[in-house]
Amino acid sequence: MNQVIKLIAKNQLDKAFEAASKFFEETSENYNDFILLRKRYSKIKGKNYSGIVEEKDEIEELKITKILLELISDFEPQNDIHQLQEQIQSQIKLINSLKKEKDELVKKIRELEIKSSPRISTGIDHINSSILPYYLTLNIVTINDLKSAMDEILNQIISTTIVINNENNARLGLFEVLGNGRFRVLAQKNISPRRVVDLEENFSHDTRNPKGVIGYCIANEELIFCSELRGSKYEEWYYLTDYNMQKRRHEANGIICIPIFDESMNRNGKVRSNAVAVLSVSVSKEKFFTEKHLKGLKEYCTHIKYIYKALKSRIIYDPRSLELITGITVSGKAGSGKSTLVIQLLNSLKSHGWQEFQINHMFSKFCDIKGIQDEKGVEYLPDELHMEFDEFQRDILIEHKGIIVESRFSGIFAKEQEELSKRFISVYLDCPVSERIKRYSKKLERKSIKYISEKVDELDRLNFERSKKLYDKSYTDKSIYDLYLDSRKTPDEMAIEILDKIKLRALNE
């Protein structure tokens, strides 16, 4: 039996079992226990035949050794056996302690993996080398292509920046900013369809009454960076809807919302900012977000804006329809957003050879050639001069194709001839006077609201009187136009409606 103890001490348990089998006869009291114990050990040896020993199997082996020593204690002096048992018990405690330390270390490593974002550059490189080139080579870009591109970007964010696992449940959403305070979900990760509908229907970026955390983000032009949602000023905005109020296994404990703005220059050389979208990320893990996350997400937002603009400007539903519809007229009162819409339409149609005719500017040049000063504005020039220039404007509509004409009266001229009426889409932009005064005030920054209000009223009166006198109809008459649009919508939304109208008209021809 001394040989068995020596083999156990040398950690040669398989040989120890072989040597111990000589002492256990079928009739002995502990024979069955010995056979079961040996099978228990054989099971571990078979499992670890590959040479890879798991921690739980190592502890199991020590436990088997301890039981074997108890079984052979009937054959040997107790002192030696007890001493060896104590050594084995000490080893078990040590392994358990090491296992606990390892578990703590693994946990810390996972936390560091979650909080770090070392591969952001990899994700950005993939966007620039694969995602963007693919979508820019498409001959026809649709809204679904735009959504697919945004979805691929969210995939890169998950892969490189926001880790989703059992310890951290994250939800990502990219919300497009629409008119009238509305949002549209362009892409999402881990958000249920019901919640998507809930967000689109209930959240609003209306500055007078913003709703939801993303609505608050846009209405206040505020980046939201909140590692502890509970007790913060953003909590009431996040828990706006009944869906968010429902108790769940993974509740939001932190949130980041980054507003994405597009800066562009208007005709007066002034920079304006337009809200494009919001990137929203919420996580269930407490105190999850770090400055590194924010920096990485901001970098992704820069690429989101670039790709969004590149694809949005190329969205066209059926290029063949442009062969039948060769012009668009854009009319409306002062401050209704005509110039802004024309710029948006050019973004979509310029690549197809379309060009813009800005009638007010052309009228000013027309006056320069004749040596006439229009210091107060073309609206104040005599009717005879307007009638002379209108003939030139009619010639533009007849002789040119692929044109966008911005003029208060161009819609009237496009309907004068049946052939022109078929080839042109006439658009009127309707806008409340309060909104137009607000927009006009940006052009006349140093003027009072009273002055601007009186100026807008005067321009409306002059243009209305001239259209009735010269053309025997009001240029605001809905019956003249193919589309009568509320210009409080975004330029993008209005452009899409116009392109849809072009497609529909072409299909009916």
Compute the C-alpha angle 88/107/173, nearest 5°: 155
Torsion of CA 312, 314, 318, 323, to 10 degrees: 140
pLDDT of residue 328: 94
Helix (H, G, I), strand (E, B) or coil at 264: strand
Which pLDDT band holds residue 245 (cuts at 50, 70, 90)? very low
Nearest to 88 by CA among 62, 70, 67: 62
- What is the DSSP secondary structure assignment for residue 168, as one 8-state letter? B
- Report residue 278's pLDDT band, with 50, 70 and 90 as the boundaries: very high
Least confident of 59-63, 256-260, 407-411: 59-63
Query: For residue 139, what pLDDT band results from cuts at 50, 70 and 90?
Result: low
Rounded Cα–Cα distance for residues 5 and 68 (Å)? 10
Report yes or no: 459 and 334 within 8 Å, Cβ to Cβ: yes
Residue 345 in this model has a pLDDT that exceeds 70 = yes
* pLDDT value, residue 15: 80
Question: Pick the residue with more confidence: 143 or 248?
Answer: 143
Q: pLDDT at position 427, please?
A: 96
Q: Picking from 80-94, 198-212, 303-317, which range would have the lowest pLDDT averaged per residue?
A: 80-94
User: What is the C-alpha separation between 365 and 376, in angstroms, rounded?
Assistant: 15
Q: Are 135 and 274 in contact (CB under 8 A)?
A: no
Q: What is the dihedral of CA 139, 145, 150, 155, to 10 degrees?
A: -100
Query: Does position 378 have pLDDT exceeding 70, yes or no?
Result: yes
User: Where does the pLDDT of residue 103 fall: very low under 50, low under 70, confident under 90, or very high at 90 and above?
Assistant: low
Instruction: Give the 3-state secondary structure of residue 260.
Output: strand
Work out whether the CA dihedral 24, 26, 27, 31 comes out positive or negative. positive
* The predicted structure's pLDDT at residue 76: 53
Q: What is the pLDDT of residues 394-440, one digit of tens each?
A: 899 988 888 999 998 999 999 888 888 888 999 999 999 998 888 88
Instruction: Give the pLDDT band of residue 249 (cuts 50, 70, 90).
Output: very low
Check: pTM over 0.85? Answer yes or no.
no
Q: Which domains does the chain have, with CATH numbers?
A: 2-114 (no CATH), 120-312 (3.30.450.40), 319-508 (3.40.50.300)
Q: Which tokens in the block code for residue 165?
A: 């696992």
pLDDT at 48: 44
- pLDDT above 70 covers a percentage of the chain that reads 77
Long-range CB contacts (within 8 A, 24+) of 144-152: 145/311, 146/186, 146/308, 146/311, 146/312, 146/315, 147/186, 147/187, 149/307, 149/311, 150/174, 150/186, 150/187, 150/304, 150/307, 150/308, 151/187, 152/127
Higher-pLDDT residue of 270, 65: 65
Strand 327-332: give its sheet, edge to edge: 355-358, 403-406, 327-332, 424-430, 483-486
SS (H, E, C) 182-246: CEEEEEEECCCHHHHHHHHHHCECCCCCCEHHHHHHHHCCCCEEECCCCCCCCHHHHCCCHHHHC
Q: Answer whether 297's CB lies under 8 Å from 259's CB.
A: no
Strands 355-358 and 403-406: parallel
- Residue 257: per-residue pLDDT: 93
What token pair was written down for 436? Answer: 């137009």
Q: Is the pLDDT of residue 386 over 80?
A: yes
Instruction: Tell me the pLDDT of the chain averaged across its residues.
Output: 79
Confidence of residue 104 (pLDDT cuts 50, 70, 90): low
Residue 333 C-alpha from the chain's centroid: 35
> For the range 259-265, what are the long-range contacts, defined as Cβ-Cβ under 8 Å and sequence gap of 24 or more?
259/217, 259/218, 259/221, 259/222, 259/223, 260/301, 260/304, 260/305, 260/308, 261/221, 261/305, 262/305, 262/309, 264/343
Q: How far is it, in rounded angstroms, from Cα 1 to Cα 23?
A: 8
Q: Is residue 83's pLDDT more than 90?
A: no
458 pLDDT higher than 50: yes
Residue 466 confidence (pLDDT) above 80: yes
Looking at mean pLDDT, say which of 7-21, 309-323, 451-465 comes out highest: 451-465
Take residue 357 and report the two structure tokens written for it.
């005719």
Phi and psi at residue 335, in whole multiples of 5°? Answer: 85, 10
Instruction: Report residue 246's pLDDT band, with 50, 70 and 90 as the boundaries.
Output: very low
Q: What is the pLDDT of residue 382?
A: 83
| Whether pLDDT at 240 is above 70 | no
pLDDT of res. 39: 82
Report the range of poorest mean pLDDT among 33-47, 241-255, 376-390.
241-255
User: Over 60: is that where the pLDDT of 108 sits?
Assistant: no
| pLDDT tens figures, 212-229 | 888 889 988 889 988 887
